[in-house]
Amino acid sequence: MELAFYLSGLVAVLATVGVITGTSPVHSVVYLIVSLIAVALVFFALGAPFAGVLEIIIYAGAIMVLFVFVVMMLNLRADAERTPPLWRQPIYWLGPSLLALALLAALVALITAGDIEMAIDGELITARAIGLTLFGPWLMVVELSAILLLAALVTASHVGRRSDPGHSSTPRNAPNRGDTP
Amino acid sequence: MNGVPMEHGLVLAATLFSLGLAGLMLRRSMLFVLMSLEIMLNAAGLAFIVGSTAWNQPDGQAMFLLVITLAAAEASVGLALMIQLYQRFHSIKLDNVSRMRG
């Protein structure tokens, strides 16, 4: 169990590095699928098989298929980010990065302080216990998530509609027309 | 001590979250921004699972279900926005839509 945890964690981190450093969109999507499957294996190793199955079915199965579908439909290609715009200047990212690094240092210091004294022994939590929790005390949250999904459905079908062709080829395609000296 | 210490699971979640945040700040393509958001949500779900299995309580896994629900909603709306961006600008660079100087 320990070997599976550390090996899957290493694969997850490496695949995530591959995601954020890749240049081809399709390669990055496939790396992300590998990362999600590795995290699902971490769940299996920790003793949460229901969460692992859900991770594979919903994340790697449904959401990432949506990503692959959109990448294929838009026919994206590997584009070098050739114009380094204003965000390269350090004034735009130095402050938030320093604050986030301070928060990360505090988090790691708290984690490695060594007073948690808890080990995950891989005892299984069955889907029955999760279902009893969800539909017992958490019932209102389930209904709220249903409303969230309905709102996402309406929003996606409204935003993602195809705009009429006479409207999309107007000169609004020029992004900076007339407002830069 | 047998079993995985809880610290290692939390460090793994923090590492994945940091990688997602770095990708969010480094990349200007909307596809990579959405994938970085998925990585960060997934890392948060991993932290929930680690807490759930450390305390042997099912509440963390119920919370993970809600995180997955949120990720699905976010991905669908984000991809719809990306399709609109591509239809209007024939590119998914987010710098195209920075007219508000935000």
Residue A181 has a pLDDT of 40
Radius of gyration of chain A (CA): 22
Residue of chain B minimizing CA distance to A146? B69
Sole residue written with tokens 């695949």: A15
pTM: 0.85
**How do residues B79-102 score in pLDDT, each as one tens digit?**
999 999 888 888 888 877 877 765
CB B64 within 8 A of CB B52: yes
Q: How far apart are CA B39 and CA B68, in angstroms?
A: 12
Q: Where are the alpha helices (DSSP H) in chain A?
A: 2-21, 25-46, 49-54, 64-74, 90-111, 127-134, 139-159, 165-168
Q: Average pLDDT, stretch A94-118?
A: 84
**How do residues B35-75 score in pLDDT, each as one tens digit?**
999 999 999 999 999 999 988 889 999 999 999 999 999 99
CB A36 within 8 A of CB B42: yes
Residue of chain B minimizing CA distance to A158? B80
Question: DSSP label at A75?
Answer: T
- The interface predicted TM-score (ipTM) is 0.92
**How do residues A94-104 score in pLDDT, each as one tens digit?**
888 899 899 98
Question: DSSP label at A49?
Answer: H
Q: How far apart are CA A53 and CA A44, in angstroms?
A: 8
Residue A164 has a pLDDT of 61
Q: How far apart are CA B85 and CA B81, in angstroms?
A: 6
Q: Is residue A169's pLDDT more than 50?
A: no
Residue of chain A minimizing CA distance to B60? A130
Residue A131 Cα, gap to closest chain B Cα (Å): 8
Six-digit token pair at B95? Answer: 């710098």
CB A14 within 8 A of CB A37: no
CB within 8 Å of A24: residues ≥ 6 apart: A77, A78
Q: Which of B6, B66, B93 sits opposite A120 (nearest CB)?
A: B6
Q: Is residue A83's pLDDT more than 60?
A: no
The pLDDT confidence band at residue A91, using thresholds 50, 70 and 90, is confident
Residue A179 has a pLDDT of 43
Residue B12 has a pLDDT of 93
Q: Residues of B numbered 53-82 whose beta carbons fall under 8 angstroms of chain A's beta carbons: which are they?
A: 53-59, 61-62, 64-66, 68-77, 79-82
The pLDDT confidence band at residue A165, using thresholds 50, 70 and 90, is low
Residue B79 has a pLDDT of 93
Residue B101 Cα, gap to closest chain A Cα (Å): 10
From chain A, the residues in CB contact with B69 under 8 A are 145, 148-149
Q: Do A160 and B25 touch (CB under 8 A)?
A: no
The pLDDT confidence band at residue A178, using thresholds 50, 70 and 90, is very low
Q: How far apart are CA A51 and CA A128, in angstroms?
A: 12
Percent of chain B at pLDDT above 90?
56
Q: Range with the lowest mean pLDDT among A43-52, A71-80, A132-141, A171-180?
A: A171-180
Sole residue written with tokens 């709306």: B77
CB atoms within 10 A of CB B35: 29
